[in-house]
Amino acid sequence: MSSPQQPPPAGSYDPAQWTICANPTFGFQFHYPRGWVDVPGQRSIIYRPADARSFIASDGGKTQQIFSPAVTLTMMPRGKTAGQTPAEVFAGFKSLMPTYFRDYAHRGEQTFRLASGQEAWEIVFDFLKGGRPFRALMAYVVLPNAIFIFDGSGLQTDFSTHEAVLRQSIRSLRVQ
């Protein structure tokens, strides 16, 4: 595996090291390391290093290819959360984490500002995916009409090597 790319200082993206993923229709853009590739055929946007570890996992009757590390951006309408504050939405998601992630173990959380200025809620947790121990850094951004969930994850053995790059990519998110 090649050595990880170092993230640029906050707010500074050297085009030689980073690429922009932008979708004006859905009102977002973020940076990811140059050389990472997209994972086609997904409902979410997923980027991973070209040489990322991968394996096939079957959880709950669903078979999927898993990559370590990877960043994933998912956007969804507010739906039933339309009348809730962003903090209430995050609390609701956080309460459901053990339901969606096998052997969920909460490691920490904080709030921060995205590159576009909105407040985001970040949670770090461990879980099992395909029977293997993973760690995730997940950020939630709640807008009036949409929720963005942006995460960086990897096998626990890889996570510390890639954490700075995953965090920089997540914090580069700009939403409208």
Amino acid at 71: V
The reported pLDDT for the residue numbered 15 is 61
Residue 55 — φ and ψ, nearest 5°?
Answer: -155, 160
CATH architecture of 18-175: 3-Layer(aba) Sandwich (3.40)
The reported pLDDT for the residue numbered 14 is 65
Amino acid at 17: Q
Separation between Cα atoms, residue 105 and residue 133, nearest integer Å = 11
Average pLDDT, integer, range 44-66: 86
Q: Report yes or no: 108 and 97 within 8 Å, Cβ to Cβ.
A: no
Indicate whether 162 pLDDT > 80.
yes
Domain ranges for the chain, please list them: 18-175
Residue 92 — φ and ψ, nearest 5°?
Answer: -65, -45
End-to-end Cα spacing for the chain? 36
Average pLDDT, integer, range 52-61: 83
The pLDDT mean for the chain works out to 87
pTM above 0.75, yes or no: yes
